[in-house]
Structure 1
Amino acid sequence: MKRTAVIGAGVMGETLLSGLIRAGRAVDQLVVVEKRAERAAELKEKYGVEVVADVAAAASAETVLLVVKPQDMADVLGDIAPALRRGQLLVSLAAGITTGFIESHVPDGVAVVRVMPNTPALVDEGMAAISPGTHCDAAHLAEAEELMASVGRVVHVPEKLQDAVTAISGSGPAYVFFVVEAMIEGGVHLGLPRTVAHELAVQTLFGSAMMLRETGEHPAVLREQVTSPGGTTAAALRELEVHRVRAAFLAALEAARDRSRELGS
């Protein structure tokens, strides 16, 4: 089994670590790089993995997961580059950072895969899109897919579409939570107890998502099945159209895509 190093032990870094362990990855094949002593001790006690402060530990791994903030990537690459070697795989989860940028900061021949994950990975229902860099072969790409599949689903996309992926699935959970929050507040406004409004909204979201996945139907078809002529749903949807909710979502997605491009530059 290949040895894997995780650089960055924030929420997503820990999510991947725990997912890999649940998927059967042996803890002695994992190493975490974390400079904060208190956090390092917490991870070591919780998962039984080796936790080190020096990024040079990545030299002992065939695969290195870079789970750091976009603005920190250049510094991290500067620290880790002397420890890297041809044939190693770097899997980057930093929004907006291109494979070309990473390749320009590491030794020639290091394989790079760019990934856009999302937070439902915390409950093993994540959605990740992966794109290969210049030196990435089929085996490298398969390794990256296996890593991300430990916490959800994976699709392959050309790298030029990664900013669009960021806008839809990377930032997408926030849009969903925003809508559910509005539904809950609306329920309270209509007289429901907050706990009841919360359960109604969350279960409605969960059930609707399951219908989309299990039936394979276009969302417009499922929407029409709920919308009786002249009924309550039709009245509600009319208000959403009057307030241009569809257009607002499109504008939000474009703003997220543009910000992803800015981060990459």
Structure 2
Amino acid sequence: MTRRIEILPVAAESWRRGLQAMGAVYPWLLLFALAGGIYAAGLYSDYGLWLPLAGAIASFAAGVELSRRIYAALGHGAAGAYMPLAHANLAVYVAFLFMGFFVGFFLLILPGILIEAAGQYAIDKDSPPEQVQEAFVAMLGTAYGAAYLAVAAVGAAFLGWSALRLTVFGAATAARGEAMVFRTWRWTRGNVLALGVVSSFTHVMPFLAGLAANFALQAALPDTLTGHFLAGMAGILLFAPFLLAGHGLAAAAFERLRPEESAPIDEADGSS
């Protein structure tokens, strides 16, 4: 029988547990922010790709450890869970990079097809960017533009739906000490809508608030390496509520949707 997520209780629990974990994980959050600052400064440095690459690797490593510590504080940690959690995160990144590439590529070539079909502008590979942008804006006001927006909405919905189906992979990986990615796919079946509503409280709203605060802060900081380093650090810290509540949701959903321990894991984790 499909288990159900109760929206308001799970949203409240996600925030409560995520914020409670803050006291146990703040040193690792600061380490993650430090790595993010190095990465941000590296993008504007004269040291080539080495500094941003080192910052990106350090950010990933620190982010995985922060995630492991949060799950441990939420009661789903294992001493040897670092590498499985790193593998699971990499698998998800690669999967969404693959899906995002095809969705994005299609959305990049589709405007040219629709602009030509609309017949208002004649553009080609030699057309200046200003003319292409003008043609695209004009096309959006037609039925072809409505079709483009509909396709874009479907692509975004597909990526969002896929992310919601994988809500519990991190908590499951930390709890079981082995990479659990698409083996958790079936667990969230029948709860995508509820998880989507909950994630609007745990992910969307804190993300938008952090984004707005980050933009305002970047405008106030100087355009120097120190300024970019501070902006990178502050960007991570401003998104701390998003990270903590998101992990809280993963843990709360995992506890409600995981199969009974007595069920055969292959049967319980089958995809559908």
- TM-score class normalised by the smaller sequence: under 0.3
User: More helix by proportion, 1 or 2?
Assistant: 2
TM-score by length of 2: 0.26
User: More strand by proportion, 1 or 2?
Assistant: 1
TM-score by length of 1: 0.27
**Greater relative contact order: 1 or 2 (C-alpha under 8 angstroms, separation 6 or more)?**
2
